[in-house]
Structure 1
Amino acid sequence: MSELPSPSARPSPSARPSLSERRRAETQLEIAMAAAELFAERGAEATTAEDIARSAGVALRTFYRYFRAKEEAVAPLLAAGGRRWVALIERSPAGPPLPQVLERAAVEALTPDGEEMARALLVTRRLLTDPGLRIVWQAVHQDSEDELVPALAARCGPAADPLEVRLAAAAATAAIRVALESWAATDAGTTGPGSPGELAARCVRELTAGLRLWGEVPHS
């Protein structure tokens, strides 16, 4: 599989999505879930874009309006947890140490709040065992890291060293990736011991322990 482009562009965190953007995101996620279910059942290699479009109830031309390759179709699903994590960090109150904010947000982002999220996590587990989706998985985490950099910079203030902000974002994102990949290799549930949330908390705590993290600025 050739290298795929980065998943779809995102609005800035402060921008409120328009109705058309929300509908676009909903359609993308519906297609992503259809693709994920088929990939989990058959594998990416045995699934075609036509199969995905048919399962999602959309025309093939609609599929290609949103995605340029069948593998890319699962990116919105794989990215959902990371975007939720960044949003939680951005909304968290000023005051707690940054490592604590990262850890709490990781647990909340990866702990199911209903059947739909639990199902998405279980589907994600099956996707992570498919070698054909490795490029998409890596691209999703690079995007997540890029989103986390300005969120951390805003919390740390203008005096923070940009290199250290970037290092913290890279370490925290790697912690989430390792936690999910480790969970996918087991039969642990979506909650409780060995769950994504528990492993994420441990990974974030251990990976950020040696970083120099700065005082935060109050939210406006």
Structure 2
Amino acid sequence: MAAPERPALSLTERRKAATQQEIALTAARLFSERGAEGTTAEDIARTAGVSLRTFYRYFRTKEDAVAPLLADGSRQWVDLLAATAPGTPLLPALVDAARAALAPAPGRPAASLGWTRGLLRAMPDDPALRDVWHRTQHDAEAALRPVLAELVGLPADSLDVLLLAATANAAMRVAVEAWAAGDSDPTGAADLAETAFRRLTGPLAEPNRPGPS
């Protein structure tokens, strides 16, 4: 199953996306280093090399600035799942996609994973940051449904697929949060994700497929 193709972006759209990503990485780094209370929108804009007016053109609040970074991680996992070879069992598909999505890669250096860890550590003390994280997770779960439906051969709105998407997304979220709370290197997040998926093997691996007609 191939990942869905996205329309090619115009030059203006690519520049906008690059600016948003730079601001998001800067915000995550500053939140990681200083905490949410110790970081202002002005700090983020100045460090990212943009005006405060430009910052607010892209983001409503300083916490919203990290949304592209968090969403990008979820989107990579979903895209990798969508590119899974037909016939791949569900559990290996989930584990392989999680490992690839959580590993350092071009455009996703180990440093950015470290900033994500700091960002997640700052969330318990900042309700606005938690809201951004939960919105990102809600969107990721919705994006998972059609991909998982294709993998298991069930309608995207079926109860099994709804539960499967919720369970798989929760396992990934819990693994990343547990990794962020510890001190292991970036591979620790992938190890925790695999452990979480394997502990849920029963409900994840055998959805109720329709019988032969």
The residue that corresponds to 1:47 in the other structure is: 39
- Distance in 2 between residues matched to 1:23 and 1:157, nearest whole Å: 39
The residue that corresponds to 1:37 in the other structure is: 29
The residue that corresponds to 1:134 in the other structure is: 130
The residue that corresponds to 1:4 in the other structure is: none
Q: Deviations over 1:82-118 (max 9, x none)?
A: 1110000111110111222111101111111258421
CA 97–33 in structure 1, closer or farther in 2 if over 3 Å, else same: same
**Residue 156 in structure 1 maps to residue 152 in structure 2:** yes
Asked if the contact 1:50–1:60 (Cα under 8 Å) also holds between the matched residues in 2, the reply is yes
Asked if the contact 2:145–2:156 (Cα under 8 Å) also holds between the matched residues in 1, the reply is no
Gaps of 5+ in 1: 1-11, 216-220
CA 158–18 in structure 1, closer or farther in 2 if over 3 Å, else same: same
Moved more, 65-74 or 128-137: 128-137
Coordinate RMSD, CA, aligned: 2.1
Asked if the contact 1:156–1:214 (Cα under 8 Å) also holds between the matched residues in 2, the reply is no
CA 38–165 in structure 1, closer or farther in 2 if over 3 Å, else same: same
The residue that corresponds to 2:88 in the other structure is: 96
**Residue 15 in structure 1 maps to residue 27 in structure 2:** no
- Distance in 2 between residues matched to 1:60 and 1:161, nearest whole Å: 43
- Distance in 2 between residues matched to 1:118 and 1:154, nearest whole Å: 32
Matches within 5 A, 1:71-86: 71-86=63-78
Gaps of 5+ in 2: none
Matches within 5 A, 1:49-198: 49-113=41-105, 116-130=108-122, 131=124, 132=126, 133-158=129-154, 162-191=158-187, 195-198=188-191
Identical positions, percent: 52
Give, in angstroms, the shift of residue 142 of structure 1.
1.1
Taking structure 1 as the reference length, what is the TM-score of the superposition? 0.84
The residue that corresponds to 1:201 in the other structure is: 194
Find the residue that maps to 1:128 and give its secondary structure. helix
2:174 partner amino acid: V
- Distance in 2 between residues matched to 1:18 and 1:159, nearest whole Å: 31
Comparing both structures, which one devotes a greater share of its residues to helix? 2
Find the residue that maps to 1:210 and give its secondary structure. helix
Give, in angstroms, the shift of residue 171 of structure 1.
0.6
**Residue 25 in structure 1 maps to residue 21 in structure 2:** no
Taking structure 2 as the reference length, what is the TM-score of the superposition? 0.86
